[in-house]
Amino acid sequence: MQEERSPERYRAEISMLNHEIYELSQKLNESESLRLKAVSSDKYDPFGNPTDYPGFTGDYSKICPKVGQPGYSLPLEPDPEERLNLRKFYSIGGWCFLFQFVLANTGAMLLSTLISSLISGSGRLMSPAEASDYMHSSSITAGISMLVYMIFNVTVALFGMKWAGIRKSSLIHTKKFTAGKAVQYCLAALLIWVVMLYASTGIGLIFEKFGYTTKTISTAEMARTPLGFAVLTLYTSIIAPITEELFFRGMLLRVFSKANQRFAVFATAFLFALSHKNIPQFLLAFGVGIFLAHITLIHGSIIPSIIVHIFINCFANIVQQFAQSDPSTKLVEELIIVAFALVGAVMLLAFMGSEKLPSTTPKQSRRGFPLASSSLGVMLSVVIPLAYSVYIFVSANR
């Protein structure tokens, strides 16, 4: 005979079942929440690339608003909205570089032409060629270069940062940078500079065998007066490093780093090299430019790259002046360079052992060069300076 169950017992069993169902639902919700969290993209690290330097890219939800939402993970190929927003940042970088290049070179040319006309039309009775030589050998040409490039490097950099929404304070907020690292970076960069110097010298010799010269720009006969030397030294050793770092590693590197830090390193180094308008300096600037971009990523600031850039330019100026003052000391000059390079090799190896350039994930590769090359601003920023460099090379070899 079956035992009768009272209503109270039924209610107790139902209550127990409801409690078990509630606990199971809670566990299921927690499990689903953890799963969604695992697949969701972090808006400050949307690609989950452990080789990237965190904090440098910025908030990626400004490019792809879905990033950071529960359960959303970036697809392999960017969707139309992400593609459009990311191309906008590449275009900002491209147009800003093109504006800087065109405005600086045009401004320097127009100002030089104006001053040359004033000099040749004055009581000095100089021909245009004599006026140009006078400007080149005095402080005038050096002063024009310093003034024009300083103005347009800074102005366009600030304009680009405002356009891209980059905070100025982020450029100097330096992380984990010490005096020891400064010495290590300066000597490591010096080795890169020496290697690129000998490479460019070798390429120059090859061109010379076929009757061409790669030395389209020379400072050997420039600023021969004391004032001219002072202005040129101030420009190349202080003003140029600071303003170029503000533009290339301050604004341009951050704009290009939104999706692919490795691409940004090489892209900014290439444009930095292209801005020098000749083969020898292209190689020097490209090699050192990669290193400067790398240490900027590491420390999140342009302070380390400014220090290294100033050191390299000062060293190059000292070596050049040393060689010009007494050509017979060429062997001593070479020995000094080699000695510094050997110490730099040790420093560079130590650096490479602890710091690696960011690698690129498949998702990032789709958002790097292929997408940047679809921007008109980026394409023109390469084609126009390259064409101008070819024009200078052809003009020098007529």
* Partner residues linked to 153 by β-bridges: none
Instruction: Return the number of other C-beta atoms located less than 10 Å from residue 218's C-beta.
Output: 9
Q: Dihedral (C-alpha) 109, 112, 114, 120: value to the nearest 10 degrees?
A: -140
Q: What is the pLDDT of residues 107-128, one digit of tens each?
A: 999 999 999 888 877 655 577 7
* Partner residues linked to 42 by β-bridges: 45
* Partner residues linked to 45 by β-bridges: 42
**DSSP for 260-326, written as a single string:** -HHHHHHHHHHHHHHTT-SHHHHHHHHHHHHHHHHHHHHHTSSHHHHHHHHHHHHHHHHHHHHHHH-
What pLDDT, on the 0 to 100 scale, is given for residue 1? 44
Residue 351 exposed, middle or buried by CB count within 10 Å (0-12, 13-18, 19+): buried
Closest CA to 231 of 107, 115, 137, 116: 137
Instruction: Return the number of other C-beta atoms located less than 10 Å from residue 372's C-beta.
Output: 24
Q: Going by C-beta distance under 8 Å and a sequence separation of 6 or more, which residues neighbour residue 107?
A: 148, 151, 152
Angle at 256 between CA 300 and CA 371, to 5 degrees: 150
Please give the chain's pLDDT, 398 residues, in tens: 445 556 666 666 677 777 777 777 776 666 544 444 444 568 888 998 999 998 898 899 999 999 988 888 899 999 999 999 999 999 999 999 999 999 999 999 999 999 988 887 765 557 777 888 888 888 899 999 999 999 999 999 999 999 999 999 999 999 999 999 999 999 999 999 999 999 998 999 999 998 898 877 655 567 778 888 899 999 999 999 999 999 999 999 999 999 999 999 999 999 999 999 888 899 999 999 999 999 999 999 999 999 999 999 999 888 877 766 666 667 777 888 888 889 999 999 999 999 999 999 999 999 999 999 999 999 999 999 999 999 999 988 88
Q: Going by C-beta distance under 8 Å and a sequence separation of 6 or more, which residues neighbour residue 203?
A: 214, 279, 280, 283
What pLDDT, on the 0 to 100 scale, is given for residue 250? 96
Q: What is the maximum alpha-carbon separation in the chain?
A: 134
Question: What is each CA distance from 205 to 192, 272, 394, in whole angstroms?
Answer: 20, 24, 17
Residue in the structure block whose two tokens are 């770092």: 245
**DSSP for 130-182, written as a single string:** HHHHHHHHSSHHHHHHHHHHHHHHHHHHHHHHHHHT--GGGGT---S--HHHH
What pLDDT, on the 0 to 100 scale, is given for residue 156? 98
Residue 343 exposed, middle or buried by CB count within 10 Å (0-12, 13-18, 19+): middle
> What does the alpha-carbon distance between residue 158 and residue 164 come to, in Å, rounded to a whole number?
10
pTM: 0.88
**DSSP for 340-388, written as a single string:** HHHHHHHHHHHHHHH-------HHHHHTSHHHHTT-HHHHHHHHHHHHH
Map residue 225 onto helix, strand or coil: coil
What pLDDT, on the 0 to 100 scale, is given for residue 9? 67
Domain ranges of the chain: 78-396
